Structure 1
Amino acid sequence: MKNYLALILFLVSATIISQNTLTLEGKESPTAAINDVSWIAGHWQGEALGGITEEVWTSPLGKSMMGSFKLVVDEAVQFYELCTITEKNESLLLRIKHFDKNLKGWEEKDASIEFPLVKIENNKVYFDGLTFEKISKNELNIYVIFKDEGKEAVEMKFNYKLAK
């Protein structure tokens, strides 16, 4: 479990060079509305981190979208995430909060990891260190910058297919 915690609890560095993620680098987030990213909604499944991954995103409602993530390795839940994309200051903000398999929070009670919007393209939305890419109506990639303690930051790709 400690390895997953170290892998997930990361800091995004402005100096990291990656292929599919961007950093805000002190700029203002662009103007955007929640409907601009409505294509993320769905029940997505894939394989990563040595197991089965699952993400579920709701359609926009109340100027927000709600998401959840689960990692299952050898039929055992390793951790969960609760996520939101909300309209904030005429832009979008992605927030993530992590929980162990017993729903004990990893971050402090009132804290979450925040990813401000960097830019939106036709099939991609770039948050600071995390990117959603729509491959087709049935396929979604998510790219995340991970910083493991004492190691170089790396970009990780999560490939998801729409669950049936």
Structure 2
Amino acid sequence: MRIMVAALAVALVAASPAATVDDLGWLAGDWVSEAGERWTEERWTPPRAGLMLGVSRSGRGEELREYEYIRISRGDDGAIAYIAMPRGGAPVAFRLARHHGNSATFENAAHDYPQRIAYVRDGDTLTATISAIDGSKPRRWTYRRR
């Protein structure tokens, strides 16, 4: 019986359609997190032509501390990837490891930090978490839709 259940699970996964950028459309919008003088903003375009574009910036008061250009698209290998360019630098790709409903996790075990980027949306709340590949050293932002 166990073998039949395992075989059925494998068959269902194999029959599942491959993820598309459109599957991540729930991420689109203008998001903000504020705590005292500290703030972080993240904006995502709706998916179109297999691409979502994003930008993030963080600061304190009127001082900008960090910014990042981001895109989600299908890579040359066919896999969906989150491609980050912190401070406009060289792109770093994180492959889509899993997604379900309004959540997505991207991973790159070869990157120094972060190695995992996860998003979960619940209504007008978006939570972003970065961490090491094993989930250690987490940093979390809770955004509200602007």
TM range (shorter): 0.7 to 0.9
- Corresponding residue for 1:139? 125
Matching residue's letter, 1:122: G
In terms of Rg, which structure is larger? 2
Shift of 1:79: 1.7
- Corresponding residue for 1:80? 67
The normalised TM-score by structure 1 is: 0.66
Q: Secondary structure at the match of 1:160?
A: strand
- Whether contact under 8 Å (1:31, 1:90) holds in the other structure is no
Q: Determine the C-alpha separation between the residues in 1 that align with 2:72 and 2:57.
A: 18
How many residue pairs match? The answer is: 118
Q: Determine the C-alpha separation between the residues in 1 that align with 2:27 and 2:59.
A: 22
Q: Determine the C-alpha separation between the residues in 1 that align with 2:102 and 2:30.
A: 18
The normalised TM-score by structure 2 is: 0.74
Q: In structure 2, which of residues 78, 83, 90 is the aligned counterpart of residue 95 of structure 1?
A: 83
Write the deviation string for residues 53-106 of structure 1: whole angstroms up to 9, x where unpaired.
00000001120100000102121111210000002334310011111xxxxx4x
Shift of 1:45: 0.1
Write the deviation string for residues 24-76 of structure 1: whole angstroms up to 9, x where unpaired.
xxxxxx9310110000000000037x710000000011201000001021211
Structure with greater proportional helix content: 2
Which consecutive aligned stretches of 4+ in structure 1 deviate over 3 angstroms post-superposition? none
Q: Which has the higher contact order (CA 8 A, sep 6+)?
A: 1
Q: In structure 2, which of residues 129, 136, 141 is the aligned counterpart of residue 158 of structure 1?
A: 141
Matching residue's letter, 1:55: E
Q: Secondary structure at the match of 1:154?
A: coil
